[in-house]
Chain A
Amino acid sequence: MTTCSDFESLIRDRLTGDLDEAGAARLDAHLADCPACRAEADALADILALAKLPPPTQKEIQALGGVAESALHTFRFGERRRNLVRGLAVGIAVAAAVVVMALTPALMRGRSTTEPSLWQVPDLDALWAASSVVDPDALTENLEDGATETDLDVLGSGYMETSL
Protein backbone atom coordinates (compact mmCIF):
# COMPACT_ATOMS: atom_id res chain seq x y z
CA MET A 1 0.00 0.00 0.00
CA THR A 2 1.32 3.41 -0.95
CA THR A 3 1.59 6.14 1.69
CA CYS A 4 1.74 9.91 1.40
CA SER A 5 5.52 9.85 1.78
CA ASP A 6 5.70 7.85 -1.47
CA PHE A 7 4.24 10.83 -3.29
CA GLU A 8 6.76 13.36 -1.93
CA SER A 9 9.22 12.51 -4.68
CA LEU A 10 6.46 12.86 -7.28
CA ILE A 11 5.55 16.30 -5.93
CA ARG A 12 9.25 17.25 -6.09
CA ASP A 13 9.55 15.90 -9.64
CA ARG A 14 6.53 17.91 -10.69
CA LEU A 15 8.09 21.04 -9.22
CA THR A 16 11.27 20.46 -11.22
CA GLY A 17 9.37 19.41 -14.35
CA ASP A 18 10.64 15.86 -14.26
CA LEU A 19 7.34 14.04 -13.85
CA ASP A 20 6.40 11.74 -16.70
CA GLU A 21 2.80 11.13 -17.77
CA ALA A 22 2.35 7.95 -15.75
CA GLY A 23 3.74 9.63 -12.64
CA ALA A 24 1.54 12.66 -13.20
CA ALA A 25 -1.57 10.48 -13.46
CA ARG A 26 -0.65 8.65 -10.24
CA LEU A 27 0.02 11.90 -8.41
CA ASP A 28 -3.19 13.57 -9.61
CA ALA A 29 -5.22 10.55 -8.52
CA HIS A 30 -3.61 10.69 -5.08
CA LEU A 31 -4.01 14.48 -4.75
CA ALA A 32 -7.71 14.18 -5.57
CA ASP A 33 -8.17 11.88 -2.55
CA CYS A 34 -5.63 13.31 -0.11
CA PRO A 35 -6.23 16.83 1.23
CA ALA A 36 -2.94 16.81 3.17
CA CYS A 37 -0.79 16.10 0.12
CA ARG A 38 -2.84 18.51 -1.95
CA ALA A 39 -2.26 21.20 0.67
CA GLU A 40 1.49 20.46 0.64
CA ALA A 41 1.67 20.55 -3.16
CA ASP A 42 -0.42 23.72 -3.32
CA ALA A 43 1.66 25.41 -0.64
CA LEU A 44 4.92 24.70 -2.47
CA ALA A 45 3.51 25.89 -5.78
CA ASP A 46 2.02 28.94 -4.09
CA ILE A 47 5.26 29.89 -2.37
CA LEU A 48 7.14 29.72 -5.68
CA ALA A 49 4.50 31.84 -7.40
CA LEU A 50 4.79 34.42 -4.61
CA ALA A 51 8.60 34.40 -4.74
CA LYS A 52 8.61 35.17 -8.45
CA LEU A 53 9.13 38.82 -9.23
CA PRO A 54 6.25 40.58 -10.99
CA PRO A 55 6.69 41.02 -14.73
CA PRO A 56 8.61 44.13 -15.84
CA THR A 57 6.51 47.27 -16.15
CA GLN A 58 5.90 48.91 -19.51
CA LYS A 59 8.38 51.59 -18.51
CA GLU A 60 11.07 49.00 -17.80
CA ILE A 61 10.47 47.27 -21.13
CA GLN A 62 10.68 50.58 -22.98
CA ALA A 63 13.91 51.48 -21.18
CA LEU A 64 15.36 48.12 -22.15
CA GLY A 65 14.74 48.95 -25.80
CA GLY A 66 17.62 51.41 -25.88
CA VAL A 67 20.15 49.13 -24.22
CA ALA A 68 21.42 47.51 -27.42
CA GLU A 69 22.16 50.86 -29.05
CA SER A 70 23.78 52.19 -25.93
CA ALA A 71 25.93 49.06 -25.56
CA LEU A 72 26.96 49.27 -29.22
CA HIS A 73 27.98 52.90 -28.75
CA THR A 74 30.02 52.04 -25.63
CA PHE A 75 31.64 49.04 -27.32
CA ARG A 76 32.61 51.03 -30.41
CA PHE A 77 33.90 53.87 -28.24
CA GLY A 78 36.07 51.38 -26.36
CA GLU A 79 37.34 49.98 -29.65
CA ARG A 80 38.21 53.46 -30.95
CA ARG A 81 39.99 54.30 -27.71
CA ARG A 82 41.96 51.04 -27.83
CA ASN A 83 42.92 51.66 -31.46
CA LEU A 84 43.93 55.22 -30.61
CA VAL A 85 46.10 54.08 -27.70
CA ARG A 86 47.62 51.33 -29.86
CA GLY A 87 48.23 53.83 -32.67
CA LEU A 88 49.82 56.28 -30.28
CA ALA A 89 52.06 53.58 -28.82
CA VAL A 90 53.17 52.50 -32.30
CA GLY A 91 53.72 56.14 -33.31
CA ILE A 92 55.81 56.84 -30.22
CA ALA A 93 57.85 53.68 -30.80
CA VAL A 94 58.47 54.60 -34.47
CA ALA A 95 59.37 58.18 -33.56
CA ALA A 96 61.77 56.95 -30.89
CA ALA A 97 63.39 54.56 -33.37
CA VAL A 98 63.79 57.35 -35.95
CA VAL A 99 65.33 59.67 -33.37
CA VAL A 100 67.78 56.99 -32.24
CA MET A 101 68.72 56.18 -35.82
CA ALA A 102 69.23 59.84 -36.65
CA LEU A 103 71.31 60.61 -33.58
CA THR A 104 73.47 57.50 -33.47
CA PRO A 105 75.99 58.51 -36.21
CA ALA A 106 76.44 61.97 -34.72
CA LEU A 107 76.92 60.51 -31.27
CA MET A 108 79.44 58.01 -32.58
CA ARG A 109 81.36 60.75 -34.40
CA GLY A 110 81.50 62.97 -31.34
CA ARG A 111 82.76 60.11 -29.27
CA SER A 112 85.59 59.20 -31.70
CA THR A 113 87.16 62.73 -31.61
CA THR A 114 87.83 62.48 -27.90
CA GLU A 115 89.67 59.18 -28.17
CA PRO A 116 93.39 58.99 -29.16
CA SER A 117 93.75 58.17 -32.80
CA LEU A 118 97.29 56.69 -32.49
CA TRP A 119 99.15 54.61 -29.92
CA GLN A 120 101.40 56.91 -27.90
CA VAL A 121 104.68 55.52 -26.59
CA PRO A 122 104.69 55.89 -22.79
CA ASP A 123 107.41 57.99 -21.13
CA LEU A 124 109.24 55.21 -19.29
CA ASP A 125 111.65 57.56 -17.48
CA ALA A 126 108.80 59.50 -16.00
CA LEU A 127 107.05 56.33 -14.95
CA TRP A 128 110.25 55.00 -13.41
CA ALA A 129 110.82 58.24 -11.50
CA ALA A 130 107.29 58.14 -10.17
CA SER A 131 107.80 54.69 -8.75
CA SER A 132 109.48 53.89 -5.40
CA VAL A 133 111.56 51.10 -6.81
CA VAL A 134 115.16 51.31 -5.58
CA ASP A 135 117.58 52.41 -8.21
CA PRO A 136 120.30 49.62 -8.44
CA ASP A 137 122.89 52.16 -9.56
CA ALA A 138 122.33 54.24 -6.42
CA LEU A 139 122.65 51.06 -4.33
CA THR A 140 126.03 50.24 -5.83
CA GLU A 141 127.16 53.78 -5.14
CA ASN A 142 126.17 53.42 -1.47
CA LEU A 143 128.19 50.22 -1.13
CA GLU A 144 131.16 51.89 -2.60
CA ASP A 145 130.74 54.72 -0.08
CA GLY A 146 131.24 52.15 2.77
CA ALA A 147 127.72 51.07 3.51
CA THR A 148 127.46 47.87 5.50
CA GLU A 149 125.49 44.73 4.68
CA THR A 150 123.14 45.74 7.47
CA ASP A 151 122.38 48.90 5.60
CA LEU A 152 121.59 46.78 2.63
CA ASP A 153 119.19 44.72 4.75
CA VAL A 154 117.51 47.90 5.86
CA LEU A 155 117.18 48.99 2.29
CA GLY A 156 115.59 45.66 1.54
CA SER A 157 115.24 44.00 -1.76
CA GLY A 158 114.03 47.17 -3.38
CA TYR A 159 110.95 45.53 -4.95
CA MET A 160 108.39 46.81 -2.50
CA GLU A 161 105.73 49.51 -2.54
CA THR A 162 105.83 49.91 -6.22
CA SER A 163 103.21 52.35 -7.23
CA LEU A 164 103.17 51.28 -10.82
Chain B
Amino acid sequence: MSDTEHPGESHHRFRLLKGGKPVDEKRDDELLRAFLVGDEEALGELFERHQHTVYAIVRRYARSADDARDLTQRAFLRVLEAGRRTVGRTRGRKVIPFRPWLLRIAVNLGKNQVRDAARWRKAPLEAIDHAHSTEPHPADALERAERERMVRAAVVRLPKRQREVLTLRIDAELSFLEIASVLRITENNAKVHFHQAAKRLRAMVSEPEESAS
Protein backbone atom coordinates (compact mmCIF):
# COMPACT_ATOMS: atom_id res chain seq x y z
CA MET B 1 0.00 0.00 0.00
CA SER B 2 1.45 3.35 -0.98
CA ASP B 3 1.54 6.31 1.38
CA THR B 4 -0.61 8.43 -0.92
CA GLU B 5 -3.49 5.97 -1.10
CA HIS B 6 -4.80 6.46 2.45
CA PRO B 7 -3.55 9.75 3.79
CA GLY B 8 -6.04 9.73 6.65
CA GLU B 9 -4.94 6.37 8.00
CA SER B 10 -1.92 7.68 9.86
CA HIS B 11 -4.17 10.05 11.76
CA HIS B 12 -6.40 7.14 12.68
CA ARG B 13 -3.42 5.10 13.93
CA PHE B 14 -2.29 8.03 16.04
CA ARG B 15 -5.69 8.15 17.64
CA LEU B 16 -5.45 4.47 18.53
CA LEU B 17 -2.32 5.18 20.54
CA LYS B 18 -3.96 7.76 22.74
CA GLY B 19 -4.27 6.38 26.22
CA GLY B 20 -4.63 7.45 29.81
CA LYS B 21 -8.11 7.26 31.19
CA PRO B 22 -8.76 9.42 34.26
CA VAL B 23 -9.00 7.42 37.45
CA ASP B 24 -10.97 8.37 40.55
CA GLU B 25 -8.25 8.00 43.17
CA LYS B 26 -10.52 9.08 46.02
CA ARG B 27 -12.74 6.10 45.32
CA ASP B 28 -9.67 3.85 45.48
CA ASP B 29 -8.75 5.20 48.89
CA GLU B 30 -12.29 4.70 50.17
CA LEU B 31 -12.29 1.14 48.90
CA LEU B 32 -8.93 0.40 50.46
CA ARG B 33 -10.07 1.74 53.83
CA ALA B 34 -13.28 -0.27 53.56
CA PHE B 35 -11.37 -3.46 52.81
CA LEU B 36 -8.95 -2.93 55.68
CA VAL B 37 -11.84 -2.72 58.12
CA GLY B 38 -13.32 -5.94 56.79
CA ASP B 39 -15.37 -5.17 53.67
CA GLU B 40 -14.31 -7.92 51.27
CA GLU B 41 -16.48 -6.63 48.44
CA ALA B 42 -14.34 -3.49 48.39
CA LEU B 43 -11.37 -5.63 47.42
CA GLY B 44 -13.37 -7.10 44.55
CA GLU B 45 -14.04 -3.61 43.26
CA LEU B 46 -10.39 -2.60 43.60
CA PHE B 47 -9.41 -5.63 41.54
CA GLU B 48 -12.05 -4.88 38.96
CA ARG B 49 -10.78 -1.32 38.60
CA HIS B 50 -7.07 -2.09 38.33
CA GLN B 51 -6.25 -5.72 37.65
CA HIS B 52 -6.21 -5.37 33.87
CA THR B 53 -3.79 -2.42 34.03
CA VAL B 54 -1.51 -4.30 36.41
CA TYR B 55 -1.72 -7.41 34.26
CA ALA B 56 -0.86 -5.35 31.15
CA ILE B 57 2.23 -3.99 32.91
CA VAL B 58 3.59 -7.25 34.27
CA ARG B 59 2.72 -9.26 31.17
CA ARG B 60 5.58 -7.62 29.30
CA TYR B 61 8.00 -8.92 31.93
CA ALA B 62 6.48 -12.33 32.61
CA ARG B 63 7.63 -15.63 31.17
CA SER B 64 4.13 -17.06 30.83
CA ALA B 65 0.48 -16.24 31.44
CA ASP B 66 0.64 -17.99 34.82
CA ASP B 67 3.68 -15.94 35.70
CA ALA B 68 1.85 -12.72 34.79
CA ARG B 69 -1.14 -13.77 36.87
CA ASP B 70 1.11 -14.52 39.82
CA LEU B 71 2.85 -11.15 39.50
CA THR B 72 -0.53 -9.40 39.38
CA GLN B 73 -1.59 -11.08 42.60
CA ARG B 74 1.70 -10.26 44.28
CA ALA B 75 1.43 -6.59 43.30
CA PHE B 76 -2.01 -6.37 44.91
CA LEU B 77 -0.91 -8.22 48.03
CA ARG B 78 2.07 -5.90 48.51
CA VAL B 79 -0.01 -2.77 48.20
CA LEU B 80 -2.65 -4.16 50.58
CA GLU B 81 0.11 -4.95 53.10
CA ALA B 82 1.50 -1.43 52.73
CA GLY B 83 -2.02 -0.06 53.23
CA ARG B 84 -2.56 -2.18 56.34
CA ARG B 85 0.71 -1.01 57.88
CA THR B 86 0.03 2.67 57.10
CA VAL B 87 -3.49 2.56 58.46
CA GLY B 88 -2.21 0.75 61.55
CA ARG B 89 0.58 3.23 62.18
CA THR B 90 -1.57 6.32 61.69
CA ARG B 91 -4.59 4.81 63.48
CA GLY B 92 -6.69 5.09 60.36
CA ARG B 93 -5.97 8.76 59.70
CA LYS B 94 -3.94 8.13 56.55
CA VAL B 95 -4.08 5.67 53.73
CA ILE B 96 -1.56 5.18 50.94
CA PRO B 97 -2.37 6.49 47.44
CA PHE B 98 -3.51 3.13 46.13
CA ARG B 99 -3.13 3.28 42.36
CA PRO B 100 0.30 4.99 42.12
CA TRP B 101 1.64 2.52 44.68
CA LEU B 102 0.08 -0.45 42.93
CA LEU B 103 1.48 0.48 39.53
CA ARG B 104 4.92 1.28 40.94
CA ILE B 105 4.98 -2.07 42.70
CA ALA B 106 3.89 -3.81 39.50
CA VAL B 107 6.74 -2.18 37.55
CA ASN B 108 9.25 -3.07 40.27
CA LEU B 109 8.04 -6.66 40.45
CA GLY B 110 8.38 -6.91 36.70
CA LYS B 111 11.87 -5.48 36.77
CA ASN B 112 12.88 -7.88 39.53
CA GLN B 113 11.49 -10.70 37.47
CA VAL B 114 13.79 -9.96 34.59
CA ARG B 115 16.83 -8.70 36.46
CA ASP B 116 18.71 -11.45 34.78
CA ALA B 117 19.14 -10.22 31.20
CA ALA B 118 18.92 -13.74 29.83
CA ARG B 119 15.36 -14.01 31.08
CA TRP B 120 14.39 -10.95 29.07
CA ARG B 121 15.20 -12.72 25.85
CA LYS B 122 12.81 -15.53 26.69
CA ALA B 123 10.01 -13.47 28.16
CA PRO B 124 7.29 -12.96 27.24
CA LEU B 125 7.56 -13.06 23.49
CA GLU B 126 7.58 -16.81 23.01
CA ALA B 127 4.72 -17.45 25.39
CA ILE B 128 2.50 -14.83 23.81
CA ASP B 129 3.45 -15.79 20.27
CA HIS B 130 2.52 -19.39 21.05
CA ALA B 131 -0.74 -18.25 22.57
CA HIS B 132 -1.65 -16.51 19.32
CA SER B 133 -0.17 -19.02 16.91
CA THR B 134 -3.10 -21.44 16.87
CA GLU B 135 -4.88 -19.47 14.14
CA PRO B 136 -3.79 -20.17 10.56
CA HIS B 137 -1.59 -17.36 9.17
CA PRO B 138 -2.00 -16.09 5.66
CA ALA B 139 1.23 -14.80 4.11
CA ASP B 140 0.74 -11.15 5.07
CA ALA B 141 -0.23 -12.11 8.58
CA LEU B 142 2.96 -14.17 8.82
CA GLU B 143 4.97 -11.22 7.63
CA ARG B 144 3.30 -8.98 10.18
CA ALA B 145 3.89 -11.55 12.92
CA GLU B 146 7.58 -11.60 11.99
CA ARG B 147 7.75 -7.80 12.15
CA GLU B 148 5.99 -7.81 15.52
CA ARG B 149 8.53 -10.31 16.79
CA MET B 150 11.39 -8.10 15.58
CA VAL B 151 9.94 -4.94 17.11
CA ARG B 152 9.21 -6.60 20.45
CA ALA B 153 12.72 -7.96 20.53
CA ALA B 154 13.95 -4.42 19.86
CA VAL B 155 11.81 -3.12 22.77
CA VAL B 156 13.82 -5.38 25.05
CA ARG B 157 17.04 -3.76 23.85
CA LEU B 158 15.88 -0.18 24.52
CA PRO B 159 17.51 1.77 27.35
CA LYS B 160 15.75 0.96 30.61
CA ARG B 161 13.90 4.24 31.14
CA GLN B 162 12.75 4.47 27.52
CA ARG B 163 11.51 0.88 27.70
CA GLU B 164 9.60 1.53 30.91
CA VAL B 165 7.92 4.67 29.60
CA LEU B 166 7.09 3.03 26.28
CA THR B 167 5.57 -0.10 27.77
CA LEU B 168 3.58 1.79 30.41
CA ARG B 169 2.18 3.88 27.60
CA ILE B 170 1.42 1.29 24.95
CA ASP B 171 0.64 -1.76 27.11
CA ALA B 172 -0.99 -0.24 30.18
CA GLU B 173 -2.19 2.87 28.31
CA LEU B 174 -1.30 5.16 31.20
CA SER B 175 -1.31 8.92 30.75
CA PHE B 176 2.09 10.60 30.73
CA LEU B 177 1.19 12.24 34.03
CA GLU B 178 0.59 8.84 35.57
CA ILE B 179 3.73 7.38 34.00
CA ALA B 180 5.65 10.28 35.52
CA SER B 181 4.13 9.53 38.91
CA VAL B 182 4.93 5.80 38.70
CA LEU B 183 8.52 6.31 37.56
CA ARG B 184 9.09 9.46 39.66
CA ILE B 185 10.09 11.62 36.73
CA THR B 186 8.50 14.74 35.24
CA GLU B 187 5.67 14.50 32.74
CA ASN B 188 7.76 16.23 30.10
CA ASN B 189 10.63 13.83 30.75
CA ALA B 190 8.25 10.92 30.22
CA LYS B 191 7.15 12.36 26.87
CA VAL B 192 10.74 12.87 25.76
CA HIS B 193 11.62 9.27 26.68
CA PHE B 194 8.59 8.04 24.79
CA HIS B 195 9.44 9.90 21.64
CA GLN B 196 13.09 8.83 21.83
CA ALA B 197 11.99 5.23 22.33
CA ALA B 198 9.78 5.36 19.22
CA LYS B 199 12.56 6.88 17.11
CA ARG B 200 15.15 4.43 18.39
CA LEU B 201 12.84 1.48 17.76
CA ARG B 202 12.31 2.64 14.24
CA ALA B 203 16.04 2.93 13.69
CA MET B 204 16.69 -0.49 15.23
CA VAL B 205 14.09 -2.21 13.09
CA SER B 206 14.93 -0.43 9.84
CA GLU B 207 18.69 -1.05 10.15
CA PRO B 208 18.59 -4.74 9.20
CA GLU B 209 16.11 -4.03 6.40
CA GLU B 210 18.32 -1.30 4.95
CA SER B 211 21.49 -3.38 5.27
CA ALA B 212 19.72 -6.31 3.56
CA SER B 213 18.66 -4.15 0.63
Interface residues of A (CB under 8 A from B): 12, 14-18, 24, 28, 31-32, 35, 38-39, 41-54, 56-57, 59-60, 63-64, 67-68, 70-72, 74-75, 78
Flag whether B183 is at the interface (Cβ < 8 A).
no
Given A38-B3, A53-B60, A44 and B72 contact (CB-CB distance below 8 Å): no
| CB <8 Å contact, B128 and A32 | no
Q: How far is the CB of B9 from chain A (nearest CB, A)?
A: 7
Interface of A is mostly: helix
- How many inter-chain residue pairs (CB < 8 Å) link A and B? 134
| CB <8 Å contact, B3 and A47 | no
A51 to B13, CA, bound (A): 13
Interface of B is mostly: helix
Can you pick out 14 interface pairs between chain A and chain B where the beta carbons lie within 8 Å of each other? A12-B191, A15-B14, A15-B195, A17-B17, A28-B11, A31-B10, A32-B7, A35-B4, A41-B10, A42-B3, A43-B202, A44-B202, A47-B198, A71-B43
| CB <8 Å contact, B194 and A16 | yes
Given A46-B13, A48-B17, A16 and B170 contact (CB-CB distance below 8 Å): no
A52 to B17, CA, bound (A): 10
Given A47-B202, A53-B152, A71 and B66 contact (CB-CB distance below 8 Å): no
Q: How far is the CB of A52 from chain B (nearest CB, A)?
A: 4
